[in-house]
Chains A and B, each alone.
Chain A
Amino acid sequence: MNAVEYVGRTVGFSLAEVGAVFLLLGSAVKTIPKAIRQKKLVAEQMLRIGIGSLPLVLVTSIFTGGVAAVQAAYQFQDYVPMRYLGTVIGKSVVIELGPVLTALVVGGRVGASIAAELGTMKVTEQIDALETLAIDPIRYLVAPRLLAGLVMLPIITIFADFIAIIGGFVVALIGLDVSTHVYFTGLKLFLHPSDVLSGLVKAFFFGVIIAMMGCYHGLRTQGGAEGVGIATTKAVVSSCLLILITDYILASLLFSTVFSG
């Protein structure tokens, strides 16, 4: 067994499955024009992914911002003036920490719940029942979740960025003796719109990954309760891993195009 295969197997993912995921994604994208008209279904999923995740994202983001501040201050030592604290926190939150940590947290929560829901529907023949009613499960179940994922993740990420910057500010103000003016001047100093945009582009892709991993593993659930458990685990593990891998790929691409140009 070679290394790639080993990693693949522990993650529960083979090359053939990658093909199957893209097939599912393709069919889901094809039904999006119809799915957009199912306003109720899409809205339901948006609420569930978006509003439902806010408390968790709020807490995660506050602490992320706080840690970023403490960490940056430690690394600055006496070499870098504190007026760059806001700059460093802003950049790292908006480009990297905000989108990635939000996606990981939401992926754990939402990916698991999508996989468990669709998995249960699969093993209790509810998916078959949809088929017999001539309702395409991909249009009815997958497309609304995909839409909700790719719309809501960037929105939650904006929220997370904002909260993390506030979190960093609170720590800077109270713990590091950096004044409000200094922090926010530093923040504005080098923060470009393209930084924010690149974070949101990442969030968009992370949203697709979370929705697709939940749906894919949910729909292929086999057996009973045990199968649902396995599908849930696979959905979470594979989405977390794909988020990190995609983050690297997108970062390389974005840095070489958006930022250099």
Chain B
Amino acid sequence: MIEVIDLKKSFAGTEVLKGVNLNVRKGETVVVIGRSGCGKSVLLKHLIGLMKPDSGKILIDGVDVTTLKSEEMYEFRKRFGMLFQGAALFDSLTVWENVGLALLEHTDLSEEEIRKKVCQKLEQVGLDRLDDMKPSDLSGGMKKRVGLARAIAMDPPVILYDEPTTGLDPIMADVINELIRRLQKQLEITSVAVTHDMKSAYKIGDRLAMLYGGKIVFEGTPEEVMASQDEVVRQFVEGRAEGPIPVYQE
């Protein structure tokens, strides 16, 4: 369903993505793991057209999204939900307006129906009764969950998660993992998640892909990752300072 082909991207002369290849099938969750700063968020932003690659293609259901015109791009994005690493809530809007904005803009639902739906989404992420608060009144973890509620508000068939569990306490992290799992199982949602939380990666991922040095260096099921003898993968998964991955990059 999602096919990333030889994706390259540089910023001011530094090549961050050096030819990424990745396949995501319909209804599966692929977790991209990798060190901080290796380009995981950049990869995710390419999938939804927020960034344009220097070269390479991204095919979604066979359509190359890197060449879409802007109206086509907006149409195509209605099928996507994205959770930002920093939540990126609209700070001039209340929590319920944040979650309900897409419904307000793209559907003919009445305000009452939207409120109901927003409530339901907020409950799913373990939040209620903060509808009329502003994002600035929320804790980091709460913001993250409001961001998640916003991403799933339109019930999109594809969801991109940028570090869904960072900043959450272990119990809430598990609730979110369960939610992601449930969305995928019940609604056959296709998702790409980015994380360096291995516990979450094992739990939500059908397959894991490791981004290292601007390329996907390993792909496999959680079992395959655990059994892998690849030194780079082992070092990351076990979280060791010693190994082939240099601690200080470049």
Instruction: Assess the A133–B101 pair: CB atoms within 8 A.
Output: yes
A135-B101, A135-B102, A135-B105 given; A129·B88 CB < 8 A: yes
Chain B residues lying within 8 Å of A124, measured Cβ to Cβ, are 86, 88, 91
Q: In the docked arrangement, what's the CA distance between A133 and B86, Å?
A: 16
Contact with A along B84-108 (1 / 0, CB 8 A): 1010111110000000011001100
> By the criterion of a CB under 8 Å from any partner CB, how many residues of chain B are at the interface?
25
> By the criterion of a CB under 8 Å from any partner CB, how many residues of chain A are at the interface?
16
Instruction: Assess the B106–A134 pair: CB atoms within 8 A.
Output: yes
Query: Which residue on chain B has the smallest CB distance to residue A135?
Result: B105
Say yes or no: is A125 at the interface (Cβ < 8 Å to chain B): yes
Q: In the docked arrangement, what's the CA distance between A125 and B78, Å?
A: 18
Query: Which residue on chain A has the smallest CB distance to residue B93?
Result: A126
The chain A residues found within 8 Å of chain B, CB to CB, are 117, 120-121, 124-126, 128-136, 140
Q: Which 7 pairs from chain A and chain B are nearest by CB? A: A125-B88, A129-B88, A134-B77, A132-B82, A133-B102, A134-B74, A134-B78
The listed residue with most A CB atoms (<10 A of its CB), out of B86, B88, B92, is: B88
Q: In the docked arrangement, what's the CA distance between A128 and B162, Å?
A: 13
Say yes or no: is B169 at the interface (Cβ < 8 Å to chain A): no
Instruction: Assess the B102–A134 pair: CB atoms within 8 A.
Output: yes
The chain B residues found within 8 Å of chain A, CB to CB, are 45, 48-50, 70, 74-75, 77-78, 80-82, 84, 86, 88-92, 101-102, 105-106, 150, 154
Q: In the docked arrangement, what's the CA distance between A56 and B88, Å?
A: 34
Q: In the docked arrangement, what's the CA distance between A91 and B203, Å?
A: 76
Min CB distance A8 to B, Å, is 24
Min CB distance A45 to B, Å, is 12
* A/B pair count, beta carbons within 8 Å: 54
Q: In the docked arrangement, what's the CA distance between A125 and B86, Å?
A: 8
Query: Which residue on chain B has the smallest CB distance to residue A125?
Result: B88
Query: Which residue on chain A has the smallest CB distance to residue B41?
Result: A125
- Given A117-B92, A132-B50, A133-B150: 9 more A-B contacts, CB < 8 Å: A124-B91, A125-B84, A126-B88, A126-B91, A129-B84, A131-B50, A131-B77, A134-B78, A135-B74
Min CB distance A91 to B, Å, is 43
Query: Which residue on chain B has the smallest CB distance to residue A124?
Result: B88
Chain A residues lying within 8 Å of B70, measured Cβ to Cβ, are 136
Per a CB cutoff under 8 Å, which of B48, B90, B92 touches A132? B48
Chain A residues lying within 8 Å of B102, measured Cβ to Cβ, are 133-135
Query: Which residue on chain B has the smallest CB distance to residue A132?
Result: B82
Query: Which residue on chain B has the smallest CB distance to residue A120?
Result: B91
Instruction: Assess the B88–A128 pair: CB atoms within 8 A.
Output: yes
Min CB distance B60 to A, Å, is 14
Q: In the docked arrangement, what's the CA distance between A102 and B74, Å?
A: 39
Q: In the docked arrangement, what's the CA distance between A136 and B92, Å?
A: 17
Chain B residues lying within 8 Å of A132, measured Cβ to Cβ, are 48, 50, 77, 80-82
